[in-house]
């Protein structure tokens, strides 16, 4: 009776397993792109976890402690902007690099950023890395908080372009509620068509693709966020 594999059978098995593994792995050409995408995946998971343990819902009563009566109704309507979120900023004339921030938005009573402006302004709004005490935010060079330079994806990892696909195509921003459910502003929907915050709930896969060349001719790697569950993983470009 045969009780073990022969050496030839073991070699064949190892080769077959290796082929299957190589087929199932995503296209991760370029070490820098891999590091950049891995960092973003970890930060999306971090933001989702924080959203689940820290409920940011305020409602009309909560917003009243932040803003004057004249702005109270607007802040109440858009309360979901206070969810923990990740937002990417593209290259511009002023800042020739892609970067992102992890933050929550406060409805503030100031002339420059009244109610929710979807911007991280200080260390009270941004997520702090407890190990390094650096702010996980890099919107621009003007903020005085101790920001983590790794969130500058162009300078740190050579990311020259990022594309967002599906219904969050032009959003560049992903938010999570206290159930870990992802939200974004859906492409093509006007503000008047939105009747509740739940209309922004992600209902299709949200793909983020990183490129090492502006014209998309070089290497690339994609990360996908699943609707409803918010599960984030590598996916086909």
Instruction: Give per-residue pLDDT as tens, 10-59.
Output: 666 665 666 555 455 554 445 899 999 999 999 999 999 999 998 776 55
Which residue, among 27, 52, 59, 80, has the nearest Cα to 210 in the 3D structure? 27
Q: pLDDT exceeding 70 applies to what percent of the chain? A: 65
Kindly list the domain boundaries of the chain, sorted by start residue.
Answer: 33-235
Distance CA 98, CA 141 (A): 13
Residue 200: the pLDDT is 81
68-111 pLDDT per residue, tens: 444 444 555 667 778 899 999 999 888 899 999 999 887 664 44
If you average pLDDT over residues 172-181, what whole number do you get? 91
* φ/ψ bin of 152: left (φ > 0), alpha (ψ from -120 to 50), beta (otherwise): beta
Residue 164: HSE in the Cβ half-sphere, 13 Å Cα cutoff:
19
Tokens of 79: 């309360």
Written as six digits, the tokens of 95 are: 């800042």
Which has more pLDDT, 82 or 234?
234
The Cα–Cα gap between 118 and 143 comes to 15
């Amino acid at each position: 009776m045969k009780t073990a594999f022969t050496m030839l059978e073991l070699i064949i098995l190892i080769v077959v397993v290796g082929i299957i593994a190589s087929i199932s792995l995503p296209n991760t050409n370029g070490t820098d792109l891999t590091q950049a995408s891995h960092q973003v995946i970890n930060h999306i998971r971090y933001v989702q976890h924080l959203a689940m343990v820290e409920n940011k819902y305020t409602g009309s009563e909560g917003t009243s402690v932040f803003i004057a009566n004249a702005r109270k109704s607007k802040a109440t309507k858009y309360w979901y902007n206070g969810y923990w979120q990740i937002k990417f900023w593209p290259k511009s004339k002023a800042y020739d690099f892609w970067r992102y921030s992890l933050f929550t938005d406060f409805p503030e009573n100031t002339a420059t950023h009244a109610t929710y402006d979807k911007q991280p302004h200080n260390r009270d709004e941004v997520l702090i890395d407890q190990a390094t005490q650096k702010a996980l935010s890099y919107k621009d060079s003007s903020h005085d908080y101790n920001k983590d330079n790794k969130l500058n994806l162009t300078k740190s990892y050579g990311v020259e372009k990022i594309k967002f696909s599906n219904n969050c195509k032009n959003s560049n921003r992903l938010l999570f509620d206290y159930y870990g459910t992802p939200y974004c502003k859906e492409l093509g929907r006007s503000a008047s068509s939105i009747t509740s915050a739940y209309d922004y709930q992600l209902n299709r896969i949200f793909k983020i693709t990183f490129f090492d060349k502006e014209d998309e001719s070089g290497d690339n790697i994609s990360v996908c966020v699943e609707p409803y569950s918010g599960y984030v993983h590598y996916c086909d470009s």
